[in-house]
C-alpha cells in the first residue's frame, strides 16, 4: 500500500495549490494546449510548465505533443484516487454520526423519564 499512499499524498499536495486546482478544473471541461491553459494565469510560461509537471507527476494530468503544440488532458484515474479516499472518509463519518444519533435517541426516553419523576416529587 505504500505506492497508493504516496500517490494519494502527491495528489493532495498538487491540489493544495490554487493555480493547479484551477488548471484541473479547466481541464475537466476538455483538453487544452499549454498556451490556452496559461492564458488567464498571471505567470510566465515556464512557471505554468512547472505546475503542469507537478500535475503530471502525481497522475492528475497527461500531455502529448503534436508538432509544436503540447495538449493537456485530465487523467480521471488520478482524480479517482482522491475521490476514493474522500468517499471512504465520508462513509466512516456518516456511520459514526448514525451510531451517535441512535445512541442519543436511546438516551431520550431515559432522560425524559427521570425528568418526569423529578417533577412529580
Q: Lowest-pLDDT range, 47-51, 53-57, 82-86?
A: 82-86
Q: Find the angle CA(61)-CA(85)-CA(6) to the nearest 5 degrees.
A: 60
**Locus of grid cell 459514526:** 96
The pLDDT of residue 28 is above 90: yes
Asked whether the whole model's pTM tops 0.95, one would answer no
Distance of alpha carbon 8 from its chain centroid, rounded?
10
User: Which residues lie across from 32 on neighbouring strands?
Assistant: 72
Phi/psi for 39 (5° steps) reads -50, -55
What's the mean pLDDT in 35-55? Answer: 95
Q: Find the angle CA(18)-CA(22)-CA(25) to the nearest 5 degrees.
A: 135
Amino acid at each position: 500500500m505504500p505506492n497508493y499512499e504516496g500517490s494519494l499524498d502527491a495528489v493532495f499536495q498538487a491540489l493544495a495549490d490554487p493555480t493547479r486546482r484551477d488548471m484541473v478544473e479547466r481541464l475537466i471541461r476538455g483538453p487544452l494546449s499549454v498556451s490556452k491553459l496559461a492564458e488567464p494565469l498571471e505567470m510566465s510560461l515556464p512557471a505554468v510548465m512547472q505546475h503542469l509537471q507537478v500535475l503530471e507527476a502525481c497522475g492528475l494530468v497527461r500531455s502529448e505533443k503534436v508538432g509544436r503544440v503540447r495538449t493537456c488532458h485530465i487523467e480521471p484515474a488520478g482524480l479517482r484516487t482522491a475521490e476514493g479516499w474522500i468517499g471512504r472518509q465520508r462513509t466512516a463519518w456518516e456511520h459514526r454520526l448514525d451510531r451517535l444519533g441512535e445512541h442519543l435517541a436511546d438516551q431520550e426516553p431515559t432522560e425524559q423519564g427521570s425528568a418526569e419523576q423529578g417533577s412529580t416529587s
